[in-house]
Structure 1
Amino acid sequence: MSPTQLLERLGFTSAQLKTQVKRLSGGQRRRLQLLLVLLSEPNVLVLDEPTNDLDTDVLAAMEDLLDSWPGTLVVVSHDRYLLERVTDDQYAVLDGGLRHLPGGVDEYVELTRTRRAAADGVGTFGGGSSSATAAPAPRAVQLSGSEQRALEKELQSVERRMAKIGELTEGVHHEMVMHDQSDFAGLAALTKQIGELEAENSDLEERWLDLSEQAGR
């Protein structure tokens, strides 16, 4: 494909082909950056939240492009549908390590639910003679249309905030690299800032899982 064809496939109109880069939106710049990478014909792509700031139509085009890409693809994303479509194996960061999920994102959701139940003292525990009786599964609640829309709206809000935290964390990491390495107090302040962002992101992930379960995702 030519650069023009790739640009059009990634949602750029003919009128935008002469637009200055500084006038492009965040999502357009992200797509342009991906285009420049693809034109170099790499063997491996490493993408960090590639679908941020994309509308539905462009998101579909992005998924089509990645799904048909012949090389090795490593994607970090909270978009489970993207992960399930364009990747063959999924992994989760748990307890400070990387865990393979043969069952995909569903396994991650179930694993997180089980861990949360265990932390709350609910579920069956092996080992010795002690055990706890699992609580009955909650009955599914049928949501009204307005409740479903409210859940989806909050889900989108949580996802946007998680994406924003990712950008902020990346910015702080960059600032640490550029910072005077002899300024230990400054580096400590930046490290604390990263810790606060990661803590907020962890809370948001828990909320995202709760909302996803309620919305039936």
Structure 2
Amino acid sequence: MKINSILVATTVLASGSACASDNYANYDYIEAGYAKFEQNEFYDLPEDLSGFKIAASKRLGHFFIAAQYLQTKDDQQATISEYDYPYSYELHGDLDYELTEARITAGVIVDITDSQSIDFSLSYVDSELEGTFTAHKATMLYPRYEEFTIDPISESETADADIYRFETRYVARFNDFNFKAIAGAERIDVDYDDDTSFIYGGELGYSVTDAFSVNISYNNYDYYEISGVNIRYHF
């Protein structure tokens, strides 16, 4: 009887450990990888910017906290027309865009099985888009036509937005595969306007080892999309 009791107890403890291990592994991690920002709503902005994303998450009982930083950039050639009476001219140079997002998240977790859970979270995102034009050449159009090289002239403009997100996620691990499905809402507050929209996304990952996984993700935020590939360390 004692031997049977010990075997039963050991089996239960092992099962409980597997439950904690799988569900905690889905939330306890640090990651880094490639990120791509895409949009087609605003004609005067680039359609896509590429860069990197780093993130970390920690489970605390039935709660979790997370932080994320994203930076994407785009460089292109541009020409700007200027008029300063009586002169009309064009400036030629580089137009550089940089988008950064710093995000903090807190949520509650409901475990469904030993490897599946649903969570509900609130996030705040500080988003900043900066555009910098640096002129290297100029073309005078009036009163005479002339091309000449100039000392670099730079001008920058910055747009800030406060973003609030509510998300519901289904998180699961099946053998060596990790899966996340996301749905929720996002509110964007800027100086001149604010808007609320539906958001959705997903993530698929493969566990190379017990500690490391490779993941691909896609998130649609109505006006824009963010996708990426990352390497994640589970602790």
Higher relative contact order (CA 8 A, sep 6+): 2
TM-score range, shorter chain: under 0.3
TM-score in terms of structure 1 length: 0.25
Q: Name the structure where helix makes up a greater proportion of residues.
A: 1
TM-score in terms of structure 2 length: 0.23
Q: Name the structure where strand makes up a greater proportion of residues.
A: 2
Larger Rg: 2
